[in-house]
Amino acid sequence: MYKIAVAGTGYVGLVAGVCFAEVGHKVICVDIDENKVNIMKQGISPIYETGLEELMRKNYAAGRIDYTTDYKSAYKDADVILLGVGTPEQPDGSANLSYIAAVARQIAETIEKDCLVVVKSTVPVGTNDKVEQFIKDFLVHDVRVEVASNPEFLAQGSAVHDTIHASRIIIGTESKWAEDILRDIYKPFGIPIVSVSRRSAEMIKYASNDFLALKISYINDIANLCEMVEADIQDVTKGMSFDPRIGDKFLNAGIGYGGSCFPKDTKALEYLANQNGYELRTVKSAIAVNRDQKLILYKKACKRLITFNGLKIAVLGLTYKPGTDDLRGAPSLENVPLLLEQGANLCAYDPVGADNFKKIYPKGRIGNGSITYANNAKEALTDANLCFIFTEWNSIKALTPSDFVNLMRNPLVYDGRNIFAVEDMLSAGVEYYSIGRKAR
């Protein structure tokens, strides 16, 4: 088994570190935040992720994983160092590589034995070549160091399962030495390994994520047309899904994609193409469709209402999808400020993401409107004039049509996730608007 150091304890780094410990490797996770490190030592995860805390406690007690702010001790004798730090989007759509560079410099000045540096962070094609050269430029000790690409394909909310039971593992290397090490550390997982060049591995990550984003934007485009021609998008996608070339994944019409990957990765690939004098027309269109889709419910409501001023509006769901507390790219962040600007009094509910949302929009008066937070969905609906549904949490899906009728002052519902059957809502007396569907 290998001694593995992990730089960064976000979704990528922490999940990877815990899962490597679970299969027997000795892992130490590095973070600059002392408080965060102390919390993790107590078995408390800084991110909401199903099953993660259980594995953190189990492997910490077994001595297979630890957490530290002391990168020097963590890196100096590591066999493998994983980079799981963030590569956030910059204003022009490019990836910010400053965190990658900072860790690369630390590695160069610290390692005292032969070491494989594995970049799991999503980085533009060609970045791993630069990271390897950067490390060698600042290398202090006479040791062998190579950089490999090992992109992750986990989904937030199911990251642990997606890591341990991945469909494939992509490794990008430039030597048999690096390839053999990666094959060896992944051997206990028993998952097929696809070995390619570093640049191909980097491109596989972007091409995969952007393809899924394309599917989502495509089906949302079709859904919008379905409304105009009185077809039902759910009937359409059901018929499409039986074709094995299409399948049934990522065909749920709604109010667009969000999260830490799709918005950032589509823009980064578009930027990369532009830098090389090429226009990725499909990806460019997916970005535009998704941008417009996030406000489609708001625009529908604007056509129906003369004003939002003074109305109590229930907002159900704040995170970009269920199973995570992540708000990045969430439709709520696009719609809430518009509603507040129009003077709406919002009552928001999310079973996991409310605390993060409060950091952006604290309870109370904000601009022309106000926001409060409910403990459950029914509390948010009570006496509301209007309801927006942005996330399909089970606690929201558990509502019945009669709940909207009995609790709301006016049962007017805009459902961005097509949770409820149109016929059920209309027959109960709910004025119901969704995505790509018409009542029969």
Q: Which of 128, 176, 180 is nearest to 149 (CA)?
A: 128
pTM of the model: 0.91
**Distance (Å) of CA 72 to CA 40, 141, 290:** 19, 13, 43
The beta-strand segments (E) located in 225-342 are: 312-316
Beta bridge partners of 67: 29
Q: Are the C-beta atoms of 18 and 59 separated by less than 8 Å?
A: yes
Active-site entry in 115, 261, 347, 387: 261
Handedness of CA 414, 310, 295, 271 (dihedral sign): negative
b/e for 346-379, b at 16 or more Cβ within 10 A?
A: bbbbbbbbbebbeeebeeeebeebbbebbeebbe
Q: Mapping DSSP to helix (H, G, I), strand (E, B) and coil, where does residue 116 land?
A: strand
Give the C-alpha separation, 318 to 58, whole Å.
31
Residues 64-85, mean pLDDT to the nearest whole number: 97
Q: Mapping DSSP to helix (H, G, I), strand (E, B) and coil, where does residue 82 land?
A: strand
b/e for 273-293, b at 16 or more Cβ within 10 A?
A: eeeeeeebeebbebbebbeeb
Contacts of residue 259, Cβ cutoff 8 Å, sequence gap at least 6: 156, 320, 321, 324, 326, 328, 329
In the predicted structure, residue 156 carries a pLDDT above the cut 90: no
Give the C-alpha separation, 138 to 366, whole Å.
49
Q: Are the C-beta atoms of 392 and 417 separated by less than 8 Å?
A: yes
Active-site residue flag, 226: no
In the predicted structure, residue 149 carries a pLDDT above the cut 80: yes
Q: Are the C-beta atoms of 183 and 193 separated by less than 8 Å?
A: yes
Beta bridge partners of 412: 431
pLDDT in tens, 394-405: 999 999 999 999
How does strand 369-373 pair with strand 364-366? antiparallel
What is the secondary structure of 172-235 as a DSSP string?
E-SSHHHHHHHHHHHGGGT--EEEE-HHHHHHHHHHHHHHHHHHHHHHHHHHHHHHHHT--HHH
Residues 182-203, mean pLDDT to the nearest whole number: 97
What pLDDT shows up at residue 440? Answer: 47
pLDDT in tens, 293-327: 999 999 999 999 999 999 999 999 999 999 999 99
Q: How does the average pLDDT of the chain come out, rounded? A: 95
What pLDDT shows up at residue 439? Answer: 57
What pLDDT shows up at residue 361? Answer: 97
- pLDDT > 70 in the chain, percent: 100
Residue 197, both tokens: 């060049």
In the predicted structure, residue 207 carries a pLDDT above the cut 70: yes
Give the C-alpha separation, 300 to 308, whole Å.
13
Q: What is the DSSP letter of 395?
A: H
- pLDDT > 90 in the chain, percent: 93
Q: Which amino acid is present at 88? A: P
Rounded to 5 degrees, φ, ψ at 426 are -70, -40
What residue ranges define each of the domains in the chain, with the CATH number in brackets?
A: 3-196 (3.40.50.720), 204-292 (1.10.1040.10), 294-433 (3.40.50.720)
Q: Which of 356, 310, 311 is nearest to 333 (CA)?
A: 356
pLDDT in tens, 249-266: 999 999 999 988 899 999
CB atoms within 10 A of CB 102: 13
Residues 145-149, mean pLDDT to the nearest whole number: 98
What pLDDT shows up at residue 256? Answer: 95
